[in-house]
Structure 1
Amino acid sequence: MCGIAGFLGTPASGTPDVALKAMTDVIEHRGPDADGAWCDSDARIALGHRRLSIIDLSPLGAQPMHAGSGRYVIAFNGEAYNYAPIRAELGLSGYPFKGHSDTEVLLAAFDTWGVEASVPKFAGMFAIAVWDRQERSLWLVRDRLGEKPLFYGKVGESWLFGSELKALRAFPGWRAAIDVTSVAQFLRHGYIQAPASIYEGISKVRPGTMVELRTGQVPREIVYWSAETAARAGLANPISGSADEIATALDAVLRPVVRDEMVADVPLGAFLSGGIDSSLIVALMQAQSTRSVRTFTIGFNDPRFNEAGFAREVATHLGTEHTELMVSGEDALRFVERLPAIYDEPMADSSQLPTLLISQMTRQHVTVALSGDGGDELFGGYSWYAGASGTADRLSHTAPALMRKMVGSVLRSIPDPPPDLIARLITDGDRAIGDRPANALTRLGARLVAPGHEASYQSVLAQSVTPADLMRPELRPRAGFGTLHGPWLDDTRTSESRMLFDAISYMPDDILVKVDRAAMAFSLETRAPLLDHRVFEFAWRIPYSDKVSEGVGKQPLRRLLFRYVPRELVERPKRGFAVPLAAWLRGPLRPWAEELLSAQSITAGGVLDVSRVRRLWSQHLGGLANHGDRLWAVLSLQAFLRNESRQHDLSRSA
C-alpha cells in the first residue's frame, strides 16, 4: 500500500520537483518508508510515490520504477495478488527481472502486452499511474471494485492526479470551487458518488476503469471490467446444487484468494467483529496458517452497541492471538477534529470513528490487516434487500397512482412521527426504513411517489429526501435532488438490483473510502478477500434464493463458516459497525457539535440554512427526534467547510 501523486503540465510557480514534493509530502502517511520522484521536463510529466513496504522490502522495490525497455514509468499503489503466475509466464519468455516486487511484474506485462491488454490480467487492489514515453500518454488505472482511490482533474493547463484530494490541493496554483450538486448528493446519501468529488472539475477514476491523458486532448476513458456486466453474466449462468455443494464451491474460490492475500513480507493480521464475514475470513486464514493469526476488534462501553464479547468467543474457538479495545465517546472526541484532514471531503458514515480507532490499535501490531468487507453486498446481507417485498413496494405495484400520490404526500407531511406509529405502518419487509426511524415516514412517503423501483430504492436509503431544503435558498435551484446513478437489472429482480446498485455505489464510495482513509491515516494496509473479482463473479452465479432464506441473507457464507465455528457463536441479529451516535452528540461530542452548528459557523460556511439546521439540532438535543444520521452529515460538511476556509487562509498567507 502506498500513495501516488503527480501531474502532466507545468506548475504555476516553482520547479516541477518542488511541486511534486509538495504533493507527496501531504500523503506521507500512506507511505512513510520511502519517498520517490521522477520528472521529465521535456514531456512535462512528474510521478511521485510514497512507499509503504509490503512485498520486496529492498531498494529494488522502490518507485517510481522504470520498465526494462525504458518505455514505461510507473507509480503504483496497492497489490497485484496474482503477480507470481504472471511473473512465471513472463519469465518463460526470458524477461530480465531484477527484484521480486509485484510492481516490476506490472511493468514487465506492459512491456510485453501493452497497458490496455495487461490491466485485465491483474487480480488485486490498485491505483496505477503509468507514463508511456513512446506515446507520451499518462494512464490512470483503478481496480475493479474501487478498493484503492484515485483522483484526477485539470487545474489551469495541468492535469493533476493523486491517491487523495490533499495531494491535488498541494499543487501550486490549485483552485477549485465546491460542487453544489455534490453537496446535495452528500446531504441525501451521506457520500459522493464517483466520478464526482466535492470539487467542480475534479473526478474520481471509476472502479474498473482506465483513463488516458494526453496534453491538449480530452481524456479517454476505457472500462476494462464492469460490475454490471459481471453480474448479468453470472445471472445468465447460475450454478446449481445443494446448499452444502454451493458452500463447497465457494470454499474452492475463496480459500485460495485468502491465501494469496496473506502474502506479505511484514506482520499481518485481521479485523474480527465476530460477525459472519470477518469470522469466515479469519477462519480461512487460520486454516491455512502455521501460527496463530493476529486478530483485532473494538467494543463500546455502551452495552447496547458492544459486540466485543462475540469476537472474543470466535477468536478463542479459532485459536487466534486476539487484541481488543474498548472505546467511549471521549475516545471518539480525539478524532473528530481530524476527520476533515483525513477524509478530504465530507464523509457521513459515523462508523469512521471506530474504524479509525481500530486501525490505530491494529497498526501498533501489524502492517497489513484483512477484513470481511463485501459480504453484505455480494451475498444479500442487508435487510433492505429482503425489504424489496415490503409494504411500500407492494403498494407501489398495486395501488393506483393517484392514491399512492395522496398517501405519500400525507406521510411526507408528518415530520417527526412517534415510534409506535412507525411500528404500525412499517412491516418487517421495510426494515431498511424501520432500522432508521428518523425521517421514516417522510422516506416511506417518498417511496410511494417515486417513479420507479430505482428511485424508490434511493428513498429507502436516503438520510434526507429533499437535501436542498437544508441549503441556503440561493443555492437550492442549482443543488438538484442528490440522485445517485447506476444500473438496474429489471423490475423482476428488485433484490438483486439493489445488491448491484450498492456494489457500484455505496460500497466503493462509502464503505471503502471509510476503510482506506482510516487505515492509511496510520499507514495500515487493508485487504478484502470478498472483493476479489473472482469472488464477485462467482457470487453472482449463486441464485438469490440460495443467498437469502426467510429474510436472512449470506446463506453460503454462513454454511461455510459453520464448518469452522459453531452456529451459536455467530448467529445473531446483524448490527453493523454502529456507534451510539445520538447519545454521543448529546454528550461528549456536544461541545464540538455546538461550535460547528452555531449560527456564526453555519453562516461562515456559506452553504447551509441557519434556521433549518438549528431546528434539527434543537429537536435532537431536546429528545423530540433522533436526527443523529442527518446531523452527522451536516457536521461533516460544516467541518469540511471550516477546514477548507483555513486551508484557503493559509495559502493566501504563504
Structure 2
Amino acid sequence: MCGLVGIFDTRGERPIDRALLDRMNERQHHRGPDEGGLHLEPGLGLGHRRLSIIDLATGQQPMTSADDNLVLVYNGEIYNFAELADELRALGYRFRTHCDTEVILYAYAAWGEACVNHFRGMFAFALWDRPRRQLLLARDRLGIKPLYYAPLADGTLLFGSELKALTTCPQLPRQIDPLAVEDYFGFGYVPEPRTIYKAALKLPPGHTLTVRRGEPVPAPRQFWDLPLDPRPVSADVGAELIERLREAVRIRMIAEVPLGAFLSGGVDSSAVVAMMAGLSGAPVDTCSMAFGEAAYDESAYANDIAQRYGTRHHSERVDADDFDLLDTLADIYDEPFADSSAIPTYRVCQLARRHVTVALSGDGGDESFGGYRRYRWHLQEEHLRRRLPLAVRRPLFGALGRLYPKANWAPRFLRAKATFQSLARDSLEGYFDSVAVIGDDLRASLYSAAFRRDLQDYRAIEVLRRHDRLADANDPLRRVQYLDFKTYLPGDILTKVDRASMAHALEVRVPILDHPFVEWAAGLPSALKVQGGEGKAVFKQALERHLPRDILYRPKMGFAVPIDRWFRGPLRERVRGAVLGEHLAGSGLFDMDRLARLVDEHQSGRRDHGTPLWTLLMFEAFLRRSEAAGA
C-alpha cells in the first residue's frame, strides 16, 4: 500500500515547486515507509511513498512507460494483474517488472480511460499522458482507496491520498464548508464528494477525472455503479457463494511479505479466516482485540475460530478507558470523524503490524447481505408505511411520537417513541433517522442562529436524496443497501480502516468487497438476505459447514467503546472543557447555551447524549489541530 501526491498546472507549464511537492509527499510517509520518489517536468509534479508488497526489488514509483509517454503514481493492488499482463503481452507490450504498477501503465496505453474497467482490486492512481497533455485520476469501484483533489484559483490542481497532503500547500484555502459541517453532524463523517474544506473534494468511488491542459477541471465521470436488478439464482446458491468467496480470498493472498487476517469473532472476519485456512499450507496469522468490559468483548469467539482453524492467534487486551487516542485520531483523519470504533480499529492495526504487513478483513458483509439491524427495522417500518398513506401517518404517528416518553436505554423494538417518529416520516426520512448520529431536531438546536442562516435550509438528508434519485429500486432493502454503498461504506467504514491501517504502514485487503462478488450478491433476492428476524441469512446458511452456530447466529455486538460511561467518569472534565471551550465557541457555529445543557443532561444522568458529545468532541479536536497547524 502506498501514498501518492501531485501538482498539475492546468493552464500551462509553470515550474513546479519541488520543495512543496517533497513536503506533500513526506506528509504521507506513514503510507509508504519503504521508498519514496518524485517526478518533475514543466507543469507537472508527481510524488509517491511505497509500502513494498509485491516485486520488492523493482516496481518503484513514479513509473514511466518504456517510450516515456506515460508516468504513473498509484496506491492499491490489482489482483488480476498477471492475467492482464498476459493479455497485454499478446497485444505486443513488453514488461520490465513483475508488478501491477506497470500493468496499469500498459492497460492505459492499450485501452485508454476504459482501462479501469479491466482492473479487479482496490486502486487510486494519477496517470500523466504526455502526448495528449492530460492527467487521469481514478478511484476503485467501492472506494477502498482514497483520493483527494483541489482545483486552485490560479489553475493549479493539487491531489493526494490524504487531505493532509493538500493542506500542506499554503495556497489551499482553509474555509470550512457549512454544508460539510451539517453533513458531519448528520452522518458522523463528511460524505463524498465533499471534504470539510470548500476548496477540496474527494473523488467519488467508481469515478475517473480526466484533466486536459488548457481546459477547466471537469466533473468526474462514473465508470461503475452497484447493479440493482435481480438475477437468476442457481440451484445451490450456498455452494456458489462459498466458491465465489473462496476465490475472492485466494487472489488476495498473493504477497511477498507476511500476510494474516483480522479476527473479531464475528461472522464476516471468521468466514474470511475459514477460507484462508483452507487455502493456506501454513497456519494463518490472526489478530484480535480483547476488551475489558464484557459487553464489548468478543475475544472468546475469536479464540474459538482460531483453535478450530489452527491459526497463530495474536490477541491484546484493550482497557475500557483507552481514550488516549483522541488527538491522534484527529491527526489521522484530517477532517472530523466521529466513529468511536476508530479507537479499537487503530489498536488492532497496531497489533497486526507487529506480525504481518498485509491483513485481510471482513468488511462489506453487512452491506452486501443485509446484516445491519437497521435494515430489519426499516423493512418492518416500510411494511407499515405502505399500508397507510403519509397524509395519515404524519399527523397520527407524529402526535404519538411527541407524547411517548423517550427511552434511549431500551432495545430498538421497545423504543416506541423512535418508532412512532420514524413512521411519521417518508421512507427516506425514516432511514436517515436510523443512520443519523444526531437527529434533525437536536442537530438544529445545537447550531447558532447565524450558522442556521448560512445553511439556507440545507439538511444532511440531501446526501441520501441525491443518491436515492439514482437508485431506481422498488425493493426497500436494495434501496437502502445502495445508499449505504454510496455513503456509509466509503465514508465511514473504509475511511476508518484505511487511515488506521496506513498509520501503521499495514495493508488491509477486503475480499468480501471483491467487485464481482459484490455484483453477484447485489443480484440475489432480498428474501434470501433477510428472513424473518435474521439478517445475512443466505450468507450464514452457506457458512454452516465452516463455522459453528454460536458464531453465525449470536447477536451482533459491533466494535464499540463505552463513550457514555467515559463522559460521566474519566472524561468528565475533558468533554466539558472541550465542548464548552474556546474552539467551539470561537467557531461561531454553535449555540453555547444549548451545548452546556447537553453536557449537563448527560453528566447528570438525565439523558444519554454520548454520541452527540463524541461528535462534538471530535469536531473540537479537528478545529484545535487545524488552528495549531496554522490552517
Q: Same fold (TM over 0.5)?
A: yes
Verify the 8 A CA contact 1:396 1:448 in the aligned structure 2: no
Task: Note the 1:334-353 alignment, pairs <5 A.
Answer: 334-353=324-343
Q: Which residue of 2 aligns with 1:437?
A: none
> 1:592 Cα deviation (Å)?
3.2
> 1:256 Cα deviation (Å)?
1.5
> 1:492 Cα deviation (Å)?
4.1
Q: Which residue of 1 aligns with 2:500?
A: 518
* d(CA) in 1 for partners of 2:384, 2:330: 42
Q: Which residue of 2 aligns with 1:37?
A: 38
* d(CA) in 2 for partners of 1:372, 1:126: 18
- Asked if 1:460 is matched to 2:459, the reply is no
Correspondent of 1:188 among 186, 189, 192 = 186
> 1:418 Cα deviation (Å)?
3.8
Deviations 1:542-578 (A, max 9, x none): 2111122222121232123222222234431011112
Q: Secondary structure at the match of 1:487?
A: helix
* d(CA) in 1 for partners of 2:247, 2:347: 30
Q: Which residue of 2 aligns with 1:370?
A: 360
- Asked if 1:469 is matched to 2:451, the reply is no
Deviations 1:586-633 (A, max 9, x none): 233334323311243421333222111121111111111221111111
Q: Which residue of 1 aligns with 2:460?
A: 482
Amino acid at match of 1:465: G
* d(CA) in 2 for partners of 1:494, 1:19: 49
Verify the 8 A CA contact 2:150 2:200 in the aligned structure 1: yes
User: Which structure 1 residue ranges, 5 or more long, are not aligned?
Assistant: 429-433, 435-439
Moved more, 493-502 or 461-470: 461-470
Amino acid at match of 1:281: V
User: Which structure 2 residue ranges, 5 or more long, are not aligned?
Assistant: none
Q: 1:589 to 1:520 in 2, by over 3 A?
A: farther
Q: 1:148 to 1:491 in 2, by over 3 A?
A: closer
Q: 1:322 to 1:148 in 2, by over 3 A?
A: same
Verify the 8 A CA contact 1:310 1:570 in the aligned structure 2: no
Verify the 8 A CA contact 2:34 2:49 in the aligned structure 1: yes
Correspondent of 1:67 among 65, 68, 80 = 65
Task: Note the 1:275-314 alignment, pairs <5 A.
Answer: 275-314=266-305
Verify the 8 A CA contact 1:277 1:557 in the aligned structure 2: no
- Asked if 1:134 is matched to 2:93, the reply is no
Q: 1:198 to 1:249 in 2, by over 3 A?
A: same
Correspondent of 1:567 among 530, 544, 549 = 549
Q: 1:95 to 1:605 in 2, by over 3 A?
A: same
Verify the 8 A CA contact 1:276 1:557 in the aligned structure 2: no
Q: Which residue of 2 aligns with 1:411?
A: 401
> 1:639 Cα deviation (Å)?
0.9
Percent identity for Structure 1 against Structure 2: 39
Verify the 8 A CA contact 1:211 1:220 in the aligned structure 2: yes
Correspondent of 1:609 among 571, 585, 591 = 591
Verify the 8 A CA contact 1:381 1:553 in the aligned structure 2: yes
* d(CA) in 2 for partners of 1:156, 1:391: 48
Verify the 8 A CA contact 1:178 1:199 in the aligned structure 2: yes
Deviations 1:44-97 (A, max 9, x none): 111110101111111x21000001232110000000011010011112233221
Correspondent of 1:447 among 422, 430, 439 = 422
Task: Note the 1:177-256 alignment, pairs <5 A.
Answer: 177-215=175-213, 216-227=215-226, 230-232=227-229, 235=230, 237-241=231-235, 245-256=236-247
Verify the 8 A CA contact 2:183 2:460 in the aligned structure 1: yes
Moved more, 47-56 or 67-76: 67-76
Amino acid at match of 2:493: I
Amino acid at match of 1:417: K
* d(CA) in 1 for partners of 2:436, 2:497: 21
Q: TM-score scaled to structure 1, two decimals? A: 0.90
Amino acid at match of 2:123: F
Q: Which residue of 2 aligns with 1:323?
A: 314
* d(CA) in 1 for partners of 2:397, 2:550: 43
- Asked if 1:507 is matched to 2:489, the reply is yes
Q: Which residue of 2 aligns with 1:97?
A: 95
* d(CA) in 2 for partners of 1:524, 1:174: 29
Verify the 8 A CA contact 2:393 2:423 in the aligned structure 1: no
* d(CA) in 1 for partners of 2:151, 2:535: 44
Deviations 1:494-516 (A, max 9, x none): 12211111111110111101111
Q: 1:527 to 1:404 in 2, by over 3 A?
A: same
Deviations 1:301-351 (A, max 9, x none): 011111111101111111111011111244x22211111110001111110
* d(CA) in 2 for partners of 1:491, 1:148: 27
Q: Which residue of 2 aligns with 1:123?
A: 120
> 1:390 Cα deviation (Å)?
2.8
* d(CA) in 2 for partners of 1:108, 1:400: 55
Amino acid at match of 1:470: L
Verify the 8 A CA contact 2:16 2:45 in the aligned structure 1: no
Task: Note the 1:359-398 alignment, pairs <5 A.
Answer: 359-391=349-381, 394-395=384-385, 397-398=387-388
Verify the 8 A CA contact 1:68 1:108 in the aligned structure 2: no
Q: 1:448 to 1:545 in 2, by over 3 A?
A: closer
Correspondent of 1:497 among 479, 489, 499 = 479
Q: Which residue of 2 aligns with 1:6?
A: 6
Amino acid at match of 1:487: D
Number of matched pairs: 619
Q: 1:75 to 1:403 in 2, by over 3 A?
A: closer
Verify the 8 A CA contact 1:176 1:201 in the aligned structure 2: yes
Deviations 1:8-42 (A, max 9, x none): 1299x99521110010111100011111110112x
* d(CA) in 1 for partners of 2:268, 2:7: 39
Verify the 8 A CA contact 1:86 1:105 in the aligned structure 2: yes
Task: Note the 1:521-532 alignment, pairs <5 A.
Answer: 521-532=503-514
Q: Secondary structure at the match of 2:324?
A: helix
Moved more, 557-566 or 19-28: 557-566
Q: 1:213 to 1:558 in 2, by over 3 A?
A: same
* d(CA) in 2 for partners of 1:137, 1:446: 51
Verify the 8 A CA contact 1:184 1:468 in the aligned structure 2: no
Deviations 1:218-240 (A, max 9, x none): 3242211112xx223xx1x2314
* d(CA) in 2 for partners of 1:128, 1:413: 54
